[in-house]
Structure 1
Amino acid sequence: MSSLDNYAKLFGLESVAAAGVFAALYAPLTVWFSILLIRHRSYVVFTLTLFCQIRFVAFTIRAILAGSESAGENLDLFIADEVLFSVGFFGLLYGAYGLVMDRLALCSNISFDNIISRLTRNRMLFHLTLSTGIALGITGIVETSDDPSDSIGSALRKVSVIIFVVLTVLQAYQTVTLVIAERRDDLDERTRYLGTSLGAQHGALIFMTIAILLLIREIFMAATIASTSKQNNEHLWYPLVALPELLCMFLYALPGLIPPKHRDVLNLPK
């Protein structure tokens, strides 16, 4: 077969070592969040656990695609890997949004408390919009994997990226709201509910760091929206997409950032 039949090479999947390293780093994170899910059975923790599992499998497949000529020529395996990377972002972004909403539920002095802010704090609406973005992205991937010039598939992928960018900006906006609200609120009251761990006491600033990392990822995806080759360039993709995601998961793993089940803020009175 010609090089054009090798989908991994055609779309820029070349580094076996980088994919292997990321798969190895996600392995302990998968174990940690699986244990955390047993202790704290919430939808947010479930999405973060699922994200780690998906990324571990996706990077493993990516390493196989990059390292094996026959695997690289397998279109179904390539599409599966692309879909896994697209689907996985749901857990990462919704995890950040859900945990910020949980902490905002504790705050009594919320800035920018207007109809737009309340609308963006609607979990169901955020969930449905994010799901729509994922669905459009998957459809676009399937349509363009065999034919990168497919106009409909390319358009769907672009719409998906735009949705993700908008939602990431909204999540960052709510994180800024959280930072301001926690600075105004009583520290002793927050300590009473969340504890004294690093994540509990400095959660707002940690979530702000996560929001910045997510914005870096999405700004890169938006900037390369018209060029699949640039978007898949591993010299850019790993530091601007894969690394920010991994750093976010290490931040999520900080003690106290995710409150234990018996302190679930969703059920706390205002």
Structure 2
Amino acid sequence: MTLFCIIRVAAFIMRAVSLNIESAGENLGLFIATEVLLQTGFFGLLYSIYTLVVDRLELCGSSPLPIPIIGRLLELFKKRRLFRIALIIPVALSIASINIISNDPTSSNGAALRKGAALLFLVLTALQVLQTVVLIRAEREGQDTLRYYSSSFGAKHASLIFGLIAILLLIREVFSVATISNLAQANNEHFWYPLVALPELLCATLYTIPGVIPSV
């Protein structure tokens, strides 16, 4: 979490500089570095909630969702290595698209890679929301025992907090996909801060609730 905060602070500072200083906004290296930091930070947030949810699911022995395809897909993505690979792909696509678009703004390849990255992130985030639903369902059915190991608020209500984090991340990604074809709107600070920066800040705050992250 400390690393995430450092990355995010650096990204926000670089974004603010590029928006307010004309010469900085034209600096290709600064633009690419900012976007890479933003994507890396989101990777960390999504993978963190994934790890916490899967760890808890393994302890409570949850049953899959009674929806054949989605249920199997969620079970498949409990494999950590597979999920990491799935997350790395959109990060790589996003970085590649930034590089292409920065050199040729009219490139169809760059736009296609950017759309592909955004859609993959959205799908993975949506799957994580469903995975969290499975956990909440398991706890409601009385299968979970982890929450009784601690009397802290975070430990008792961890699955609901995980669900809130997942929804906040989903809001961020829905905005990213909705504005995928309109860079001006996507970078408009009146939309970007409440729909991208604020959800991430709230997620980071929720992680700090005592008991949410189990102590060893």
The TM-score, its normalising length taken from structure 2, stands at 0.91
Q: CA deviation at 1:66?
A: 2.6
Kept after mapping to 2: 8 A contact 1:109/1:185: no
Write the deviation string for residues 199-223 of structure 1: whole angstroms up to 9, x where unpaired.
1000011111111111111111111
Aligned mates of 1:223, 1:115 — CA distance in 2: 28
Say whether 1:150 aligns with 2:107: yes
Match of 1:105 in 2: 58
Q: What is the deviation of 1:253?
A: 0.8
Equivalent-residue separation in structure 1 for 2:7 and 2:60 (angstroms): 33
1:152 & 1:86 partners in 2: Cα distance? 19
Equivalent of residue 58 in structure 1, options 5, 8, 11: 11
Q: Which amino acid aligns with 2:213?
A: I
Confirm or deny: 8 A CA contact 2:118 2:177 kept in the other structure.
Answer: yes
Paired AA for residue 5 in structure 2 = C
100-109 or 86-95: bigger deviation: 100-109
Structure 2: segments with no counterpart, 5+ residues: none
Structure 1 residues 150-169: aligned runs within 5 Å: 150-169=107-126
CA distance in 1, matches of 2:147, 2:87: 32
Question: Partner residue of 2:142?
Answer: 185
* Structure 2 residue aligned with 1:70: 23
Match of 2:96 in 1: 139
Provide the aligned C-alpha RMSD in A.
1.7
2 CA distance for matches of 1:219 and 1:164? Answer: 10
CA contact (8 A) 2:101 2:111 kept: yes
SS at match of 1:98: helix
CA offsets 1:108-133 (integer angstroms, 9 cap, x no match): 34342753331021211111010011
Is 1:218 matched up with 2:173? Answer: yes
Whether contact under 8 Å (1:50, 1:91) holds in the other structure is no
Q: Does 1:172 align with 2:125?
A: no
TM value normalised by structure 1: 0.74
Structure 1: which 4+ aligned runs deviate by more than 3 Å?
none
Matched position secondary structure for 2:63: coil
2:37 paired residue number: 84
Distance 2:92 2:62 in 1: 37
How far apart are residue 196 of structure 1 and its match? 1.2
Task: Select between 79-88 and 106-115 the one with higher mean Cα deviation.
Answer: 106-115
Q: Is the 8 A contact 2:64 2:75 kept in 1?
A: no
Partner of 1:244: 199
- Residues 7-46 of structure 1 correspond to what in structure 2 (within 5 A)? none
CA contact (8 A) 2:97 2:111 kept: yes
Mark the CA change 1:142 to 1:258 in structure 2 (over 3 Å): closer, same or farther.
Answer: same
Aligned length: 212
Native 8 Å contact 2:161 2:206 kept in 1: yes
- One-letter code aligned to 2:146: R
SS in 2 for 1:112: coil
Contact 2:172 2:196 (8 Å CA) reproduced: yes
Are positions 1:124 and 2:81 aligned together?
yes
The percentage of counterpart residues that share the same residue type is 53
Match for residue 46 of structure 2?
93
Deviation at 1:71, TM superposition (A): 2.2
Q: Is the CA contact 1:109–1:184 (under 8 Å) kept in the aligned structure 2?
A: no
CA distance in 2 between partners of 1:91 and 1:136 (Å): 17
| Distance in 2 (alpha carbons) for counterparts of 1:152 and 1:186 | 48
For the residues of structure 1 that align with 2:15 and 2:72, how far apart are their CA atoms? 44
Instruction: Give the residue type in structure 1 aligned to 2:180.
Output: I
